Amino acid sequence: MTERRELYRGQDIVVIERPIPDSDCLVITFTPLNSTGERKSGYGEALFEKHGVSAIHFIGLSNHWWQTPEMAEAIAVVMSLGLRQRFRHITTYGASMGGHGAMLFAGPLEANQALAFSPQFANGGRNAVWTRHWPVLTELYRYEDTHPTRARITVVYDPAYPFDRRHLEAFRAVTPVETVRTTFSKHATAPALAEMKALSGFVVDYVKGGGDVGRMNALFRARRRDSVICWKGVAQLLSTRARKGAFHQRAVEKGMAVVLDRFARGETVDPAHYVVPLLRPYARALVRRGEAARALEIAQACLAATPASPGVNRLTAKLLGDAGRHDEALEVLKAAFQGGLRTQAIALAAAGAALDAGRRPVAKTYLDAAFAMRRHDPEALARFALAFSDKLTPQTLQRVMELAETAGPDVRAVAQAKRRLRDKRPAAAPNETVPPAPAEVAPPATAPGKRSLLSGGFGFAFGRRG
């Protein structure tokens, strides 16, 4: 373990140095957007220590896109270390918001290289589009003013993804840029290369003065057929068309073939890359073809491989419920909730499964738990209201919809649920009342049943991959 020294600490950023003895290369990293709480380690910190590369890590304490006055102070501290005299190569490096920082401050940090994955050109969308859920901050630093004049600039992006492509074009209008084109990866350019086991080798080689861009482009093209992330991107691209048709379904099937092949080899797949874009439409297609049992078998296989995925748990429970196996559906959701997936969507799904199973006291327990949560999921609440309006009292139904409207007044699913329920009068269960939600609700005391999983092999017939 090398020395880890704090160079600067402010309210917005922390700067950490990880020097490696006898290293003549330095990488200066910037962290990406953070939605999970305080980040304590630098971007790629373990990777660079493992490969003997000295590093300075800019760690964002909030999602400020590096538009904070503290950057000037922090850069002054870093430059006082005499970096150009100590290192042969200085590379700025980051992804997304971190890539924006790597591009923006390569000049002030006197870097001779900048490597950015899916970077944004400018805060607020100047010269390129900007998504509404990101803040628009006062621009203290502009790439037009800070860009290096002689540095090597490399951007990894998906040319088929308009958002990142427009940012790349804006960079190119200011400085020459060489590119690695990870087509169909969308914004997940670094995860796509990591999935292909090509990320760390390329990055380490790059910061040491190498990084063959042509070779990396060829490697990506050769391996993308075995990429879950790329099949996800293809499926999502085709799903935006008015008529999805056979091409979309084929992409979904190819992607699921890769997913299940990974599971068969004991490998893992991030549920974020396959549940919504691949598994759900594939299961729906099987059900439409009269192959609901096969859809359930695949969902259970995915649940065995990724038991912590809320989406896989809910899909498996739904398929069990559609097959009339309501008690088994409830056991899947109870196990998920008691195992740590304490989301409102899981609690509502468990309440619904209990209602279908005729176990109203259990349904009440989970519904109380859902009501007591601090953060509300408007889509999950709206779906629950629509699906179970005939099994809820008018008071309970009203409460569900009030929570949905408060949490997401502009959410489409909430508006649709309001329209469909407007003239519908649900039947109330005799003498049922809705108790006030407690401050904290414990999960049911009964032990969860054994989760229904496949005992061996996958045995799924897919078209030939490639």
Within-domain flag for 92: yes
Within-domain flag for 176: yes
Residue 243: its pLDDT value, please?
60
Identity (one letter) of the amino acid at 242?
A
- The CATH number of the domain holding residue 184 is 3.40.50.1820
Tokens encoding 460? 């799924």
Handedness of CA 19, 60, 232, 298 (dihedral sign): positive
Q: Which residue has the tokens 């007591």?
A: 372
Within-domain flag for 62: yes
- 3-state class (DSSP) for residue 116: strand
Ranges of the chain with pLDDT below 50? 426-428, 432-466
Within-domain flag for 169: yes
Give the C-alpha separation, 323 to 307, whole Å. Answer: 21
Within-domain flag for 17: yes
Interval 343-391: pLDDT, tens: 999 999 999 999 999 999 999 999 999 999 999 999 999 999 999 999 9
Alpha helices by DSSP H, listed for 173-225, are 189-195, 199-207, 213-223
Residue 246: its pLDDT value, please?
87
Within-domain flag for 159: yes
Within-domain flag for 414: no
Within-domain flag for 333: no
DSSP code at position 4: -
DSSP code at position 450: P
The predicted model scores a pTM of 0.84
Long-range contacts of 33-36 (CB under 8 A, 24+ apart): 33/63, 33/96, 33/97, 34/60, 34/62, 34/63, 35/63
From the centroid of its chain, how far is CA 139? 27
Identity (one letter) of the amino acid at 333?
L
Asked if 115 and 102 touch (Cβ cutoff 8 Å), the reply is yes
Find the domain containing 206 and state its range.
Answer: 5-226
Q: Which residue has the tokens 């889509």?
A: 379
Q: Could you give the number of structural domains in the chain?
A: 1
Name every residue whose Cβ is closer than 8 Å to that of residue 125 and which is 6 or more positions away in sequence: 136
The dihedral over CA atoms of 38, 43, 48, 49, expressed in degrees to the nearest 10, equals: -10
Residue 179: its pLDDT value, please?
98
